[in-house]
Amino acid sequence: MATRADITENKILSDYEYALKLAKEQEKPDSIVSAATAQAKLVGMLKDKIEHSTSLDDANSVSEILEIVAREVGSEAALALGRAFNALDTASSFIDLADMDTQGRS
């Protein structure tokens, strides 16, 4: 069994290259595409498209956005975003929450 240290990007690329070679020899187009796609993903040339929806779609104000961010990502993120929006008065309601989160993780 391979250990984590045995698994490197080069090892994986070599394995995919071998799989690609076998697929070509056996004339298996699906396997050729699969091996080539895996190689491209590994080296960052191809990324899966990730579809997502967010509850931010329904937000109508900075305050609502900050509330959603605080709930879904954390109060520190909401505070930072509030600062970026220059909405410190709105973001200030997250300061206490951010302090509590920081103290809880210490």
pLDDT digits (tens, 9 = 90+) for 24-63: 899 888 888 888 888 888 888 777 666 656 667 777 887 8
Rounded to whole angstroms, the Cα distance separating 39 from 23 reads: 14
The pLDDT tens digits for 67-97 are 888 888 888 887 888 777 776 565 555 555 5
How many CA within 13 A on the CB side of residue 70? 22
Number of H helices, E strands in the chain: 6, 0
Domain boundaries, the chain: 4-42, 55-105
Which residue's entry shows tokens 């509850």?
Answer: 55
Predicted pLDDT of residue 106: 43
Provide φ and ψ at 81, rounded to 5°: -65, -40
